[in-house]
Amino acid sequence: MNTKVALFVVLASVGAHADEVETLRGQMHTYYSGEALAGIPFAGAGLASAGAGTGLLLSRDPTARGASVPMFGFAAIELAFGIYLAIRNPMRIVEFDAQLTANPNAFVTSERLRLKSIVHTYQPILLALWAAASAAGGAFAIAGQVTSDRTMVGVGLGLAVQGLVMFLLDWTVLDRARAYETALAHYPL
């Protein structure tokens, strides 16, 4: 192979690699920007739960007052996590941009491990937890109905509703994480 052809092959390879890095950068931005934006529905759910919990607590009905208890607990979790997502992820984008620029292969290796953990361990555990909370809430509500304990019915209903809300919020996180994991898997090391 003559020198001009070899130089062309090297330059074409560098250009193709730069395109792959920029494509991955866009996918990384999409994922972490989505995570930051997910802070809005999480925080919104927290504020809505706190408002609903307050209204229920002020009621004279024991079922409504019982439902306020899990509402306040979940409001704190939802609001705290929403704020965390909104603050942490923009900082991650800056941090990960620098890592991707400095060493794309090391970044991809690290991100693959992170996303594997999120998609295959962390998120499934959270989804199972929220599904169990909803099921437990349903069981509490039924037990309260059977024993004529209206407060227990309310606690159960509040727990079932909040478990479902968290399940749905975390499901969207899992979908976004799976898409990013797929993008990372297709990056050639």
If you search the block for the tokens 């509703």, which residue do you land on?
A: 161
User: Could you list the mean pLDDT of each consecutive 10-residue stretch along the chain, which spans 189 residues?
Assistant: 49 60 95 95 96 96 97 96 96 96 96 96 96 97 97 97 95 91 92
Structure tokens at 114: 């992170």
The residue among 158, 160, 163 whose CA lies nearest residue 61 is: 158
Query: Where does residue 26 rank: exposed (0-12), middle (13-18), buried (19+ CB within 10 A)?
Result: exposed
Structure tokens at 72: 């306040």
> CA 9, CA 12: separation in Å to the nearest integer?
5
> CA 188, CA 154: separation in Å to the nearest integer?
54
Residues in the chain: 189
Structure tokens at 189: 């090391």
The residue among 33, 36, 29, 37 whose CA lies nearest residue 96 is: 29
If you search the block for the tokens 């437990």, which residue do you land on?
A: 136
Question: Looking at residue 14, what is its pLDDT?
Answer: 46
| CA distances (Å), origin 103, targets 96, 100, 180 | 10, 5, 19
> CA 85, CA 172: separation in Å to the nearest integer?
14
pLDDT digits (tens, 9 = 90+) for 122-145: 999 999 999 999 999 999 999 999
CB atoms within 10 A of CB 16: 11
Helix (H) or strand (E) holding 63: helix 62-102
148: left (phi over 0), alpha (psi -120 to 50) or beta: left
If you search the block for the tokens 């898409």, which residue do you land on?
A: 179
